[in-house]
Amino acid sequence: VADTMGVSAGYYLLLRRTILRVLSTEEKAGAVWNPPLRAGLSVCICVLYVVNTYRERIGFWIHAFQLVFGVAGLTRHLLRFILSDTPVEFAFSVENTVECLSLTSLIWARGRVWLNFAFLQAYVILLRVTEMDRMGVLIQKNATVARLVTRLTVQTSVFVFIVACGLQLFELLGDIFDPFKDNAFSWSWFNAFYFTVITIFTVGYGDFAPFSLLGRMTAVATILSSAVFVSRAVSRAIDTVSRLTRGRGSLAKPSGIDHVIVTGNLRWPYLKHFVQEFFAEANNSESRIVVLTDNPRWSDDEWDNYMSFNPLFKQIVFIEGCPSIAGDLRRAQVATASCVFILCNPHHPDPYLEDSNLLRYVLGIRACNSSVPILSICALKESLLQINLACQESYAWEQPDEETMPSTRILDGLDRSNIFDDNFGGDRRGDGFAHSGKISSHALCMQDIEASLMAENSFC
């Protein structure tokens, strides 16, 4: 029995790993085409739902398409639930509720049974469009106004479509409270409440008004939610207009306050981790961080959400610019910077291009400030020597004593010791250069770091 249970558990783990591999491959390989495809299919479902409401029946081919779409979507959604790290949170999410209602309705809808919740697929369209906007697939991230107009248009269209279909659904279902009502227009408490809300938020009842209780409840919920929606849309429009000038200014700081510059290929997780580690040091609590990049890998919402919960948000300044352009470096005040950190993406598809850009950034910084310490990370070990040479500071030459003159010329910074030693602190003299700072320029290679960590995990 134990062997049988072990074999069953082994098969289960094998199946789980296979499903995980399939889903991970789908997410990596289809990160660009999957959201547009799903959004397009959901648009087809919504259009077919409207067609079915006019025809009041579902044809054979429409039924076949909806059945295949519903079964495939429900199967994939079930796999997502099984493999979710937080299944309880996933089960009670709005997306799960919408998917279950709409996909189940598509499976059971046939013939004259055309009234269902398939119109909720419009919410899936909104989710996929938001995802494409976050990835920069729909519109380029620097087109702020176009992204705002597109986002508000999609949100308004989805809101109006869902509300109209929901009102039609509840009205056609009939009023379940008919046996308990004497007069549909008697001044009951709910009718008075309905009349008050409609009168306050609109100009009156109008020529059309729902007669069922569910229809009126839907109308009230629609008006209240529309007020919230309009206020959020207006506030978002104001925020977006204010973001148009973000990153266009220069660094302004009080006298006596140090600042460092973070630039390079800044991915959002790396940048957040750098900020946390930087301010974890007590002596950096008053310093400023200048984020200098011309290609931010994060959305405006991600930046605002992170800064709103960061108590040190006033000490982080974003400047949109390239570290190889002198004007952008002057805006970041590289001449008075305490240090410049240049990050890279070690898993870039083209690491040679990544290190080439890194070398270009280093040379651009050195052209503006020949003495600022530069700490950088390169992707390939072959690029470490030239980046180390480019990082080195240019100081006034000191004439050493003949007794202490080294027999061979030593290149400053080419330390072949462990990459985790203490050569970042203290003054280094006796090598022909007068170093007055506390940090020496240096470049680290991610291949060396990963090899060292792997060796420690393997042999320690």
What per-residue confidence (pLDDT) applies to 4?
46
Range of the domain at 121: 18-138
| Domain identity same for 240 and 322 | no
Among 219, 244, 269, give the residue marking a domain's end. 244
Whether residue 119 contacts residue 46, with contact meaning beta carbons closer than 8 Å, is answered with yes
Residue 267 maps to a domain: yes
Residue 175 maps to a domain: no
| Domain identity same for 267 and 386 | yes
Residue 61 maps to a domain: yes
| Domain identity same for 264 and 212 | no
| Domain identity same for 322 and 345 | yes
What per-residue confidence (pLDDT) applies to 442?
81
| Domain identity same for 215 and 300 | no
Q: Of all helices (H) and strands (E), which one includes residue 162?
A: helix 144-173
As for how many domains the chain has, the answer is 3
Strand order in the sheet with 288-293: 316-320, 288-293, 259-264, 339-343, 374-378, 442-445
Q: What is the pLDDT of residues 20-48, one digit of tens each?
A: 555 554 444 344 347 888 889 999 999 99
Looking at every residue in the chain, the average pLDDT score rounds to 75
CA atoms in the 13 A half-sphere facing the CB of 258: 11
Report the C-alpha gap between 300 and 303 in whole angstroms: 5
What per-residue confidence (pLDDT) applies to 206?
52
What per-residue confidence (pLDDT) applies to 399?
44
| Residue 411 pLDDT > 60 | no
Residue 425 maps to a domain: no
Residue 151 maps to a domain: yes
Phi and psi angles of residue 307, each rounded to the nearest 5 degrees, phi first = -70, -30
Residue 88 maps to a domain: yes
- The lowest-confidence range among 201-215, 281-295, 413-427 is 413-427
C-alpha dihedral over 294, 297, 302, 308, to 10 degrees? Answer: -50
Report the C-alpha gap between 39 and 333 in whole angstroms: 45
| Residue 397 pLDDT > 50 | no
| Domain identity same for 376 and 272 | yes
| Domain identity same for 445 and 321 | yes
| Domain identity same for 448 and 322 | yes
CATH of the domain at 299: 3.40.50.720
Residue 251 maps to a domain: no
| Domain identity same for 448 and 301 | yes
Which residues are within 8 A (CB) of 146 and not within 5 positions of it... i.e. 6 or more apart? 139
| Residue 200 pLDDT > 50 | yes
Among 199, 214, 244, give the residue marking a domain's end. 244
| Domain identity same for 382 and 273 | yes
Own/partner pairs, 70-79, CB within 8 angstroms, 24+ separation:
70/103, 70/104, 70/105, 70/106, 70/107, 71/107, 73/99, 73/103, 73/106, 74/99, 74/100, 74/103, 74/104, 74/107, 77/103, 79/19, 79/23
| Domain identity same for 451 and 317 | yes
| % of the chain exceeding 90 in pLDDT | 7
Residue 45 maps to a domain: yes
| Domain identity same for 450 and 318 | yes
Among 193, 215, 244, give the residue marking a domain's end. 244
